Amino acid sequence: MHDFHYKNGELYCEKVLISTIAKEYPTPFYLYSYNTIVGHFNKIKEAFKDVDPLICFSMKSNSNLNICKALVNEGAGLDIVSGGELFKALKVGCSAENIVYASVGKTEEEIKEAIEKGILLFNVESVPELIMIDTVAKRLNKKATAAIRVNPDVKPYTHDYITTGTKEKKFGVDFKTAEDIFDNANKYSNVDLKGLHVHIGSQITEAKPFVEAIERVLDFLKKNNIEIEWLNLGGGFGIVYEDEKASTAQDFAGKIVPLIKDKPFKVILEPGRFIMGNGGVLVCKVLYVKTSSAGKRFAIVDAGMNDLLRPSLYEAHHDIFPIVKRESETHKYDVVGPICESGDYLALGRELQEIIPGEYLSVMGAGAYGFSMASNYNSRPRPAELLVMDEAVKVIRPAETRQDLIRGEKILKEFKAK
């Protein structure tokens, strides 16, 4: 559920009319619902209350400072994947003891900074990384804490690009390697191996793959007589983008909690999309309507793959809603952007009311992996991010300007002379 809805044929975010917002703020822009975001976090918290997990919001899904701060204020920790995200996590006041650090390619400098700040856990993805963490910790005369990310070789039903728990992928280590690491823990004298981490992918809409992965992890712990303080179950809970039969937080918990309840370890969850996905939309304006000689209709809008990459990258589906519904014939449209790429589209072959240049469309389910994957491709400024909160619109990141496009650049004097 989310707080984007129609009333008398007009689309609202909570109690605010989106057409009114579009008149005040230039398109394209991202628009988020505070109630939806906080509500989804609390649904997970309530569903898993029997195991009292540390819920670390996955910053890679949306790292806007205000989004992260809102969730930290609700009791969330943060799941980070870079030094930049660590910087932002600390900036919003998240306790380092509530930060977990993933990524297969942590640099020496990033590791050093995270140890100095005292994060809760590194999610270790390889033996060379573990050696590097131990080396850096020794140099700092500190102890680092870590969870070994195991790859359980479970393939969920999701896009291959966001499947992370099979043996062909770059993430984590196999069970045999994990066993060797724990057997030789004394080799890593400046690392406390406190847990296991398992993350099998993203946009997973049923509990079965999670159950299979957890059962394999629990079997591994039992067979090898390994005791851990933390079991990090990762994220990946899916949402409804189109016609998926996505499980609710309660559905996931109903299958997962019985497996881990009363176990002698604490639990970490790392949701991102489940909290943010349907908490945001991308609002854009129709520039032109074009019909090809073959009769194909194109709605050309002012947002493209530079603003929302998921359709081009994953062939991901996002519903397209008109801001104002009208009584009209419907037609099939490709909703495409201004970028000079054939792959620049937001939707293909969508049955929509007759589209008129100048009207506004809303790309739904864009709160996660929307702005965070946006770029300046084609030298286009990134859009604004707006948040509806307490029936008011807050600018939580202004739209970039053309000056932002050249920030840090300057023309060499050798060129100026010519």
- Which two three-digit tokens encode residue 30? 């991202």
The reported pLDDT for the residue numbered 136 is 98
Percent of the chain whose predicted confidence (pLDDT) is above 70: 92
**Looking at the domain that runs over 4-31+277-405, which CATH code has it been given?**
2.40.37.10
Contact 304, 310 (CB under 8 A): no
Query: For residue 221, which of 255, 259, 190 has the smallest C-alpha distance?
Result: 259
- Give tens-digit pLDDT for 280-327: 999 999 999 999 988 899 999 999 999 999 999 989 999 999 999 999
pLDDT band, very low/low/confident/very high, at 207 (cuts 50, 70, 90): confident
The mean-pLDDT minimum among 110-114, 215-219, 332-336 falls in 215-219
395-401: average pLDDT: 98
Measured distance CA(197)–CA(230) in Å, rounded: 8
pLDDT, tens digit, 9 for 90 and up, residues 328-363: 999 999 999 999 999 999 999 999 999 999 999 999
Give the pLDDT confidence score for residue 241 in this predicted structure.
66
**Structure tokens given for 199:** 């993350």
What integer pLDDT is reported at residue 212 of this predicted model?
87
pLDDT in tens, 20-60: 999 999 999 999 999 999 999 999 999 999 999 999 999 99
Domain(s) of CATH 3.20.20.10: residues in the chain: 34-276
- The yes-or-no verdict on residue 417 having pLDDT over 70 is no
CATH superfamily entry for domain 34-276:
Alanine racemase (3.20.20.10)
User: What does the pLDDT read at residue 164?
Assistant: 41
Tell which residue, 260, 279, 338, 328, has the closest CA to residue 306. 338
- Whether the CB-CB separation of 152 and 130 falls below 8 Å is answered with no
Share of the chain above pLDDT 90, in %: 82
CA angle 29, 31, 37 (to 5 degrees): 150
**279 C-beta neighbours (distance < 10 Å), count:** 31
Question: Sheet of 16-17: strands edge to edge?
Answer: 4-7, 10-13, 16-17
CATH code 2.40.37.10 region(s) in the chain: 4-31+277-405
| Model confidence band, residue 201 (pLDDT cutoffs 50, 70, 90) | low
> DSSP letter string over 80-130?
E-SHHHHHHHHHTT--GGGEEE--TT--HHHHHHHHHHT-SEEEE--HHHH
Please write the tens of the pLDDT for every residue from 151-200: 887 654 444 443 443 455 556 898 999 999 999 999 999 999 999 999 77
Q: What's 184's DSSP letter?
A: T
410 pLDDT more than 90 = yes
340 is catalytic: yes
Phi, psi of 121 (to 5 degrees): -150, 140
Task: Name the one residue in this structure whose structure tokens are 């994957």.
Answer: 373
Structure tokens, 73: 């204020």
Nearest partner of 201 among 228, 171, 225, judged by Cα = 171
Estimate the crossing angle of helix 108-117 against helix 127-140, to 10 degrees: 50
Taking the C-alpha atoms of residue 332 and residue 116, their distance in angstroms, rounded to an integer, is: 56
Reduced to 3 states (helix: H, G, I; strand: E, B; else coil), residue 231 is strand
CB 32 within 8 A of CB 46: no
pLDDT, tens only, 237-269: 777 666 666 678 888 899 899 999 999 999 999
Which residue in 13, 68, 94, 340 is the catalytic one?
340
pLDDT at 156: 46
pLDDT(202) > 70: no
For position 395, what pLDDT does the model report? 98
Average pLDDT rounded to a whole number, residues 131-139 = 98
Q: How many C-beta neighbours within 10 Å does residue 354 have?
A: 15
pLDDT for position 409 = 95
Mean predicted confidence (pLDDT) in 137-148:
97
Residues making up the chain, counted from first to last: 418
Cis preceding linkage at 28, omega within 30:
yes
CB-based burial label for 177 (10 Å; 0-12, 13-18, 19+): middle
